[in-house]
Amino acid sequence: MIMTKIKRVLKAGFMNFWRNGWVSLATVLIMAMTLFTIGSIIFSRALILSTLDELQNKVDISVYFKTDAAESDIFLLKDSLLKLSEVKNVEYVSRDQELKNFKERHKDNALITQSLEELGDNPLGAALNIKAKNTSQYASIAKFLEDALKMEGVGSIIDKISYRQNKIVIERLSKILDSSKKIGFAISLILIIISILVVFNTIRMAIYTSKDEIGVMRLVGASNRFISGPFVVEGLLYGVIASVITMLVFYPLTMWLGPMTESFFGNINLYDYYISNFAQIFSIILFAGVGLGVISSLIAVRRYLKA
């Protein structure tokens, strides 16, 4: 008996969907536009986070050592830094590498190049480049290094710590990162709410065309669950078809935008992101589409069940 009712509800839902062809098409297209907005937010968030990560990776604290500092002492400090929970990575740069990097940066400056050649010996010491897990944690790492300066042995080999010179840049970047995430979340939330309202009103208009049919079914004694069932099936169909259409639209679009995003944002290709995260993106869009369709159908049909 239950299976018979389920089959009737499914059949009625599919029949309503095909019978109201133009209304169903309009509803699917509007829902696809809504899901496209949600998908665009996902891709925009990926681009923003990639850009912010790229900026964050360019910020670090450098510890410069005196030319006579022993490598063993430098590595002891490096090991101490790696034990800090705030530290993401510590890179050791030897004296020879520092000189090579310095020459590369000033290869177009003939005066500096000539001065180095006349000097003969390497005037640069080794260095440690320290990256924090979060930009807000650089202050505590700098505090650790300043305390290390006061320690006997370690302090005598350190020549300079770059945090004070980079402090303003680091603090500003921290504020930009926090503000970007908050603004991005707020914009996403507003767009999603607007999209939900548009879909709800569209589905309500689609159900409005069946109000007489709902009235007849109530007169013959059909239960509210049986009456609303076909419309829930319709809403589910709207969501599934709109989700597939949205993913199909994103395929050529991300393929076209991929090279541009890679050249502009540096380390993210939108097409590669789409392919590698296809299952996750499709799951989110499908869940959003089915959820919007089913919930909107349930809310919209309740009005006529109470009439």
Cα–Cα distance measured from residue 160 to residue 141, given in angstroms and rounded to the nearest whole number: 14
| Span between the terminal Cα atoms of the chain, in Å | 29
Indicate the pTM of the whole model.
0.65
pLDDT bracket for residue 221 (50, 70, 90): low
Average pLDDT, integer, range 203-228: 65
CATH 3.10.350.10 correct for 59-166: no
Give the CA distances from residue 164 to residues 75, 119, 124, 137, in Å, rounded to whole numbers and listed in that order: 23, 29, 20, 14
Ordered by start, the domain boundaries in the chain are 2-55+174-306, 59-166
Check residue 157 and give its pLDDT. Answer: 82
Check residue 123 and give its pLDDT. Answer: 77
The model's pLDDT over 127-160, given as tens digits with 9 standing for 90+, comes to: 888 888 877 788 788 888 877 777 766 667 888 8
Check residue 250 and give its pLDDT. Answer: 93
The model's pLDDT over 28-78, given as tens digits with 9 standing for 90+, comes to: 888 888 888 888 888 887 887 777 677 667 677 888 888 888 888 888 888
Q: What is the mean pLDDT of the chain?
A: 77
Cβ–Cβ under 8 Å, residues 280 and 70: no
Does the structure show a pLDDT above 70 at 3?
Answer: no
Check residue 245 and give its pLDDT. Answer: 93
**CA of residue 43 relative to chain centroid, distance:** 7
Check residue 305 and give its pLDDT. Answer: 63
The model's pLDDT over 238-284, given as tens digits with 9 standing for 90+, comes to: 889 999 999 999 999 999 988 887 777 667 888 889 999 999 999 99
